[in-house]
Amino acid sequence: METYNSTSRNVVAVVEGSDPVLKNEYVVLSGHHDGRGIDDGEIVPGADDNGTAAIALMEIGQALLAEHPKRSVILVWVTGEEQGMNGSHYFINNCPVPVEKISACLDMDMLGRNNPDSLYLVGSDLLSSELDASIRRANSKSGINFGFDYRYSNLTHPQRVYFRSDHYPFIRFGIPSVWFFSGFTSDYHSYRDVAEAVDYLKFLKATRLVYATAIDIGNAKTILKLDVNPAVTSRGAHNLKETSLFQVK
Ligand SMILES: [Zn+2]
CA distances from 7 to 18, 54, 86, 107 (A): 35, 19, 11, 23
φ, ψ at 72 (rounded to 5°):
-75, 150
**Rounded distance from Cα 8 to ligand 1 centre (Å):** 16
The predicted-structure confidence for 205-243, as pLDDT tens digits, reads as follows 999 999 999 999 999 999 999 999 999 999 999 999 999
User: How many whole angstroms from 48 Cα to the centroid of ligand 1?
Assistant: 8
pLDDT digit string, tens, across residues 130-155? 999 999 999 999 999 999 999 999 99
The C-alpha atoms of residue 114 and residue 67 are separated, in whole angstroms, by 31
- pLDDT, position 209: 98
Contact between 168 and 162 under an 8 Å Cβ cutoff? The reply is: yes
Torsion of CA 144, 67, 207, 43, to 10 degrees: 170
Q: What is the pTM of this model?
A: 0.97
The percentage of residues in the chain with a pLDDT greater than 70, rounded to a whole number, is 99
How far apart (Å, rounded) are the C-alpha atoms in residues 57 and 204? 12
Residue 20 pLDDT: 98
Q: What is the mean pLDDT of the chain?
A: 96
In this predicted model, what pLDDT tens digit does every residue of 179-213 receive, in sequence order?
999 999 999 999 999 999 999 999 999 999 999 99
Residue 248 is predicted with a pLDDT of 81
Domains of the chain by range and CATH? 18-245 (3.40.630.10)
pLDDT at position 1 over 80:
no
Whether 249 has a pLDDT exceeding 80, the answer reads no
58-85 pLDDT, tens digit per residue, is: 999 999 999 999 999 999 999 999 889 9
C-alpha 166 – ligand 1 centre gap (Å): 9
Confidence of residue 2 (pLDDT cuts 50, 70, 90): confident
Q: Which residues surround ligand 1, an ion (CB under 5 A)?
A: 49-50, 109
- Residues forming a β-bridge with 104: 27
What pLDDT, in 10s, does the model give residues 86-103? Answer: 999 999 999 999 999 999
| 95/97 Cα distance (integer angstroms) | 5
Dist. CA 128–CA 122, nearest whole Å: 13
What distance in angstroms lies between residue 19's CA and the mean position of ligand 1's atoms? 34
Q: For residue range 39-48, what is the model confidence (pLDDT) as tens digits?
A: 889 999 999 9
Look at the chain and count its residues. 249
Distance 82 CA to ligand 1 centre (A): 7
What's the pLDDT score for residue 184? Answer: 96
* 25/207 Cα distance (integer angstroms): 22
Distance CA 71, CA 62 (A): 16
Kindly give the distance from the C-alpha atom of residue 69 to the centroid of ligand 1, in angstroms, as a whole number.
28
pLDDT at 59: 98
